[in-house]
């Protein structure tokens, strides 16, 4: 899996080949095919591994959803920075690339579900569609951690900018989630 992650990061999913992954792993391509029929299967396995890892970390970070928004943001940004470092940049790749076509296996989906749940816990009367939008917007803002530069999640200046954007959005949104029959401001 480490070889696949390295090749995906260095060459991108489209350019990566199973031959190159096998070569990087120091195994024959036939050996690789015994376990993974193609590069998409390798990417799917990486998605599963990191979805579980990030999900477990976010479950801890979001365990107390009624804490001040700034504390939630700081803890979640810390999780992202740490896991991006530990994964050698793979987390950002998985968050911004989903060529498998199966959204249920993506790291983004795990984040989406947890953010929707957090919004519901903070405001039980909120509508599911508003929670979905809140989660999608939060993810969209947070994408800057991975799209501005390969190490942006660990860059204090980028993290501060994302933190301010998230704080402005979530503080207002979580304190004023529209009720059924009302329109968002």
Cα 3 to its chain centre, rounded Å, is 21
The residues spanned by each domain of the chain are: 43-175
Q: What is the CATH number of domain 43-175?
A: 1.10.357
Q: Which of 147, 61, 160, 71 is nearest to 111 (CA)?
A: 61
24-50 residue pLDDT tens: 999 999 999 999 999 999 998 898 888
107-163 residue pLDDT tens: 788 889 999 999 999 999 999 999 999 999 999 998 888 888 767 877 889 889 999
Cα 41 to its chain centre, rounded Å, is 19
Q: Which of 183, 168, 167 is nearest to 72 (CA)?
A: 167
CA angle 129, 130, 135 (to 5 degrees): 100
pLDDT score, position 185: 43
133-147 residue pLDDT tens: 999 999 999 888 888
| Cβ(29)–Cβ(110) below 8 Å | no
């Amino acid at each position: 899996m480490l070889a696949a992650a390295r090749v995906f990061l260095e060459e991108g999913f489209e350019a990566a080949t199973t031959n190159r992954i096998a070569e990087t792993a120091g195994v024959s391509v036939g050996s690789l095919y015994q376990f993974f029929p193609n590069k998409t299967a390798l990417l799917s396995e990486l998605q599963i591994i990191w979805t579980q890892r990030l999900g477990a970390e976010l479950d801890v970070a979001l365990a107390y959803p009624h804490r001040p928004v700034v504390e939630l943001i700081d803890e979640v940004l810390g999780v992202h920075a740490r896991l991006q470092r530990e994964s050698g940049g793979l987390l950002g790749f998985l968050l911004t690339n989903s060529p498998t076509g199966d959204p249920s296996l993506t790291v983004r989906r795990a984040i989406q579900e947890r953010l929707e749940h957090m919004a519901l816990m903070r405001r039980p009367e909120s509508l599911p569609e508003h929670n979905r939008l809140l989660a999608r917007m939060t993810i969209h803002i947070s994408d800057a951690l991975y799209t501005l530069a390969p190490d942006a999640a660990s860059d204090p200046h980028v993290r501060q900018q994302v933190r301010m954007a998230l704080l402005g959005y979530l503080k207002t949104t979580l304190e004023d989630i529209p009720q059924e029959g009302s329109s968002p401001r």
